[in-house]
Amino acid sequence: MRVLVTGGAGFIGSHVSRTLLAEGHDVTVLDNLSRGRRDLVPEGVAFVEADLANEAATEQALRGHDAVIHLASFLEVAVSVAQPVLFAENNIVNSVRLLEAMRRAGVGKIVFSSSATVYGVPKSLPLRESDPLGMQANPYGATKVAVETFLGVYRTRYDFDCTIMRYFNPYGPNELCEPESHAVPNIVRGMLEKRPIPVYWQGQQLRDYVYVEDLARAHIAPLEQSGFHVYNVGTDIGTKVADIIETVSRIVGYDAQIDDLGERPGDVEASYASSEKLRMELGWAPQVDLEEGLRRTIAHYRERLGIRE
């Protein structure tokens, strides 16, 4: 199958592209490199530097493909609170531009990178796909809800095959966001560089951390689906940020320094998945447990930062 990956030069996109190649697919990455890195695009992948706002370039890149995996979005929650219009334009409007370009190019299959944030403040845990979408605490979550809704429209009006993947908390190699707002890379890099680690809520938030290579594998089977589907992608285990700090500290062999930042606008207290539907319907299950995933992540950052053990 010929698959175009938007945002394929980013953290998750680079792993998805590599996994697609390993499964024998022909892969094209479309990325404007505003947040992605050209060196993360795997060898053997066709690369198109373009912005989804450029509808003609997007349509041209799409021609001849069978499916799209859509990962191109802004994702920093705190930045979305500060710049909601920027997030709406990039995440919502550009996604609709992509859908229109797909329609004109005759590509009717899409796998969309959504988020557990669409559930809002959980009323019960673990979160399931049948749970209602909640009131959003930040513009980032609102953009994901909006794009999911547009996908429903394109399924109804144009018979698109749409699979929505609601990620929980991916982590692992290649996470190189600037500014970095995610817990695991901030913890690992801070620990390796022996500088204070920024911690919100005293590290008591409960999250579901899924290793990025496991997450990437979850995108393969949906390419064979037709219809409209929604899946959670997580490990079914809630872990405190404080426990991540403790585990990384044990692996690297010294105690962390903490920069207590208090509360962060837009956060929920606890969120973790039930991924039973994904296991039952598509046979996916995480293969890398948290400690092994953290060891691999630490090894990656040691190499990238040039820090010896």
- Cis peptide bond N-terminal to 170, omega within 30: no
Output the CA–CA distances (angstroms, integers) from residue 20 to 45, 179, 220, in the order listed: 10, 28, 7
Q: Token match 């990956």: residue? A: 5
Backbone angles phi, psi at 196, to 5 degrees: -60, 140
Sign for the pseudo-dihedral over CA of 289, 5, 132, 82: positive
Contact 50, 93 (CB under 8 A): no
Give dist(CA 44, CA 24) in Å, integer: 11
Give dist(CA 4, CA 28) in Å, integer: 5
User: ∠ at Cα 237 (235, 240), nearest 5°?
Assistant: 125
Long-range CB contact pairs, 88-92, < 8 A, 24+ = 88/139, 88/142, 88/143, 88/146, 91/140, 91/143, 91/144, 91/146, 91/147, 92/143, 92/146, 92/147, 92/150
Counting every residue, how long is the chain? Answer: 309
- Annotated active-site residue 140? The verdict is yes
Contact 218, 167 (CB under 8 A): no
Contact 118, 133 (CB under 8 A): yes
Among residues 140, 231, 272, 301, the one annotated as catalytic is 140
Output the CA–CA distances (angstroms, integers) from residue 301 to 68, 143, 174, 286, in the order listed: 30, 31, 9, 22
**254 by DSSP, 3-state: which?**
coil
Contact 67, 4 (CB under 8 A): yes
Catalytic residues: 140
